[in-house]
Homo-oligomer: A and B are copies of this chain.
Amino acid sequence: MTTTDQPIDHASVQNQMTQGHSPELDQLYKDFAAEHLNPLWTQLDDLMPEHPAPKAVPHVWKWSRLYELAKRSGDLVPVGRGGERRAIGLANPGLGGRPYVSPTLWAAIQYLGGKETAPEHRHAQNAFRFVVEGEGVWTVVNGDPVRMSRGDLLLTPGWNFHGHHNETDQPMAWIDGLDIPFSYQNDVGFFEYGSERVTDYATPNFSRGERLWCHPGLRPLSGLQNTVSSPIGAYRWEFTDRALTEQLLLEDEGQPATVEQGHAAVRYVNPTTGGDVMPTIRAEFHRLRPGVETATRREVGSTVFQVFEGDGAVVIDGATHSLEKGDMFVIPSWVPWSLQAESRFDLFRFSDAPIMERLHFDRVHIDGGNR
């Protein structure tokens, strides 16, 4: 199990293998192409790098710009059957203009004008919404109307019908997260149109899923079968905020509760299993005390953050990016990053970690501790 001591000049070695340029070799490569073949030795470095070498790049999108463009879309582009959603995808600059925030994840700002309805449909792709500001929209998931308010995480797991309607005269915007790029790339997607309108225009404060499932440590006897995705349609801000507050208070009392000093965090989970909310997407919420800087981490898999409240920065691969409310950023696989809090700093996070863990590709490297 020894490893070589000196770095290998791959280009040179591969040149040896390919560079003869003899007529026979030229003919061989022509024949490969004609037979739909492609030799490994000409492209090993690209295909099998020493560590993940993502084409996706780190990038920050400013909420002020996102919101302004979404608003203009609201004025110019109708929402309805066919286009389905007024959703504007974040297109990673390294991924050739495709609407992929990373190779696996879709992230978008969605905008719904006053009194508008986005029609119902369902798809194999898993989806969620997170609300950084505003209220007044209900999303109807398999007939269950779910209120959307600031700080809430709303789920529409694969193959659940869903539509949205704005009860107010004011527009509302939020972010959508899905596994569209992964599904597209691996040919797993199904899609079906539903009602042109939502199937229930009721506007209850709490969805039926919440009323059945949002009681800590209690499981309804009518729901003893485990489910692939969480039966909770909405994770309310009130609970998230309280959980984070308690972690920091416990830390003040000298108790183990936070992930690192000054850094509280919760994962949204499926109460039937304690695991991730959906099979492909992890969702978390992080809170830093003012002045805290997290340890620098690298992780296999890609992750997206949105600032929920507060000011701070993210250091990605050595470059510092200032952040304020609503700003979104993506960190590709194995790129080192850390967060810095100027004020109390609240961030929503989602990632493809369940994919990595279920397929046993997950690795984490933590460079150091807190300052």
Contacts and interface: CB of A to CB of B under 8 A. Distances in A.
A271 interface: yes
A233 to B, nearest CB: 10
Please list the 5 inter-chain residue pairs (A to B) with the smallest Cβ-Cβ separation, ordered nearest first: A13-B82, A41-B83, A187-B333, A38-B99, A215-B243
A40 B355 contact: no
Number of copies: 4
A161 interface: yes
A177 to B, nearest CB: 13
Contacts of A184: 47-48
Given A31-B72, A47-B99, A217-B270, 19 more contacts: A3-B194, A24-B72, A24-B75, A28-B77, A32-B69, A38-B91, A39-B73, A39-B77, A48-B184, A51-B191, A53-B187, A158-B360, A183-B361, A186-B356, A187-B333, A218-B269, A220-B247, A269-B271, A270-B274
With a 10 A CB-CB cut-off, give which of A88, A268, A272 has the most chain B CB atoms. Answer: A88
Interface stretch (A251-259, A304-312, A313-321): A251-259
Nearest to A247: B220
A224 interface: yes
Given A17-B83, A48-B125, A73-B39, A220 B243 contact: yes
A214 interface: yes
Interface string A25-58: 1001001110111111111100111111110100
